[in-house]
Amino acid sequence: MTLAGYSIIAFIVIFLLCASAGLLLVLRERRPKQVAGTITPFEEKQTLTNKIQLATVSLGEQVGRLESVVPKSQAEVGVLRQRLIRAGYRKDSAVKIFYGAKVVAISFLLLLVVVTGLVAQSPFFVLILAAAFGFIGPDFWLGNRIKTRQKRINLGLPDVLDLLIVCVEAGLSLDQATARTAEEMSKSASDIADELSVVVLEQRAGLPRSEAWKHFADRTDVKSVRNVVSMLVQSEQFGTSVAKTLRVHSESLRTKRIQEVEENAAKATIKMLFPLVFFIFPSIFVVTLGPSVILMIETYNKTFNH
């Protein structure tokens, strides 16, 4: 048997051992719940979704235990925690799971280059490259997650402002309108509704309204949200109408969105120029002129051959 065959067998054995260990840990944590379910048989049965969620949480806890391997400073942990909050992960275990994911990614890529035989070509360079990709891969994923969430927040902001205007004009205070908006928008715009729920909780905990809204802007790091927060703070300081302020800003956001759509539509003509010139036009020329060229070549060959 060749070296590649032994490597594949070793990879399969290690994978099965890791999977068995993870399964045993999950079953060990679920054993007390099964005993409790046997003692109290009238307890509601868990659905498949709940079981998958429990298994995911258990797996995340096991991955989080590997975070001590990665060297880090308190400043780096603080920056990472802020990025995770912007991505929607507020639990304390998110930092540990993130660093544990780095260790898992590095181990997986190193094992992959060994199994595939790439390490035989240039061992030092390939191993360093695999470790680097495994280390920075979770950071790229987190950055993409933050951008996607910020885009969803930006898209849902005009609707949230409209609902806030309706609630304020109906006689609710801004705090009550914020709580009602967070409740009503929890399904259609879950990300921004989740952030508004945090604002409501901070205000109920005794934090001033302006500080709670500023924290909302810092957590999301979206320019349009910062503009809304600054307008609300100024409206509170100067005593102007909150409904009129929100209405003006909502209309400006919708106008800006329409302008962006028109701008993208205008750019589409220029962007289509290169595919037309390099791909579509040559195909049209081949289809239209091809038969004529073939006929001319056949006529030329018949004429000069005879």
Per-residue pLDDT at 242: 83
Q: Which CATH architecture has domain 150-268?
A: Up-down Bundle (1.20)
Task: Select, from the ranges 68-82, 117-131, 252-266, the one with the highest average predicted confidence (pLDDT).
Answer: 252-266
Report CA-CA distances (Å) from 144 to 141, 161, 240, 275, 295: 5, 26, 39, 28, 55
Residues 204-223: tens digit of each pLDDT: 998 898 899 999 999 888 88
Per-residue pLDDT at 20: 63
Residue 267 predicted with pLDDT over 80: yes
Residue 113 backbone zone (phi > 0: left; psi -120 to 50: alpha; other: beta): alpha
Which residues, at least 6 apart from 64, have a Cβ–Cβ distance to it below 8 Å? 93, 96, 97, 99, 100
Per-residue pLDDT at 28: 57
CA dihedral 151→155→160→162, nearest 10 degrees, is 150
- 145: pLDDT confidence band, cut at 50, 70 and 90? very high
Residue 3 predicted with pLDDT over 90: no
Per-residue pLDDT at 280: 84
Per-residue pLDDT at 41: 43
**Percentage of residues in the chain having pLDDT higher than 70:** 75
Per-residue pLDDT at 71: 60
Q: How far apart are CA 236 and CA 139, in angstroms?
A: 39
The predicted model gives 260-274 an average pLDDT of 85
Per-residue pLDDT at 292: 83
Residues 11-70: tens digit of each pLDDT: 566 666 665 665 555 555 555 555 444 444 434 445 555 555 455 545 555 555 555 656
CA-based radius of gyration for the chain: 30
What's the whole-number average pLDDT of the chain? 78
Residue 157 backbone zone (phi > 0: left; psi -120 to 50: alpha; other: beta): alpha
Residues 158-201: tens digit of each pLDDT: 889 889 989 988 888 888 999 999 999 888 888 999 999 999 99
- 135: pLDDT confidence band, cut at 50, 70 and 90? confident
Q: How far apart are CA 19 and CA 37, in angstroms?
A: 26
Per-residue pLDDT at 290: 83
> In the chain, where does the domain assigned CATH 1.20.81 lie?
150-268
